[in-house]
Amino acid sequence: MKKVFFLLGELDDDDLDWMIANGRREEVTAGTVLIEEGRAIDTLHILLEGTLAVSVSALQGKTIARLTSGAVVGEMSFADARPPSATVEAVEDSLVLSIPRTQLMEKLQKDEGFASRFYRAIAIFLSTRLRGTVRYLGYAKGDLLKDDGESEELSPEIIDSVPLAQARFDWLLRRLRNKDKDHAVLPDL
């Protein structure tokens, strides 16, 4: 399952409007490093289109995962305020929604409902990732970590939110692709 589905399945329409209003649409060229291992970050990124590679210095920069449309990167540093544990680089020209840390932190501090929904989504996602990592370490040594979640066993609560999250992601992507048509209205879902 795409990481963004965890986030968009928990957030509400007003939260999404806030993210679009406060984030910036960025076209990232292949080879651009979005996140560097060990260096503090000031932005949360949502990959709308393209592919990113994740690597770690402990493995001499070997790519350990490839992220595709719907990936959220930088979320761990928002959860624990520590520098990133991996480097994330664009493999191909990509489109991302980048939300500045200062604005996101201010929103999280001022809006308890948003904070609750945001951190719940991050907790569910990180828990799911940890389960997948444990499975990977036990059964699939040598393969790339899969970030699609297809093999993950998800709770019915999460599975039930997937269609709504998919619709929100599609709407978000359409809106950011057509940034000049910024007066679109979110359809009732």
Q: Which residues contact 130 (CB under 8 A, 6 or more apart)?
A: none
State the pLDDT at residue 25: 93
State the pLDDT at residue 158: 63
Instruction: Look at residues 21, 4, 20, 8 and name the one whose alpha carbon lies nearest to residue 117.
Output: 8
pTM: 0.74
Angle between helices 3-10 and 112-139 (to 10 degrees): 150
Low-confidence ranges of the chain (pLDDT < 50): 1, 147-152, 180-189
State the pLDDT at residue 157: 60
First to last CA, the chain: 20
Q: How far apart are CA 63 and CA 55, in angstroms?
A: 4
State the pLDDT at residue 174: 79
**pLDDT tens per residue, range 115-147:** 999 888 888 888 877 777 777 666 555 555 554
Q: Residue 107: count other Cβ atoms within 10 Å of its Cβ.
A: 17
Q: How far apart are CA 31 and CA 138, in angstroms?
A: 32
Phi and psi torsions of 124, nearest 5°: -65, -45
3-state secondary structure (DSSP) of residue 39 = coil
| 3-175 CATH | 2.60.120.10
State the pLDDT at residue 131: 76
Q: How far apart are CA 117 and CA 14, in angstroms?
A: 12
Read off the amino acid at residue 26: E
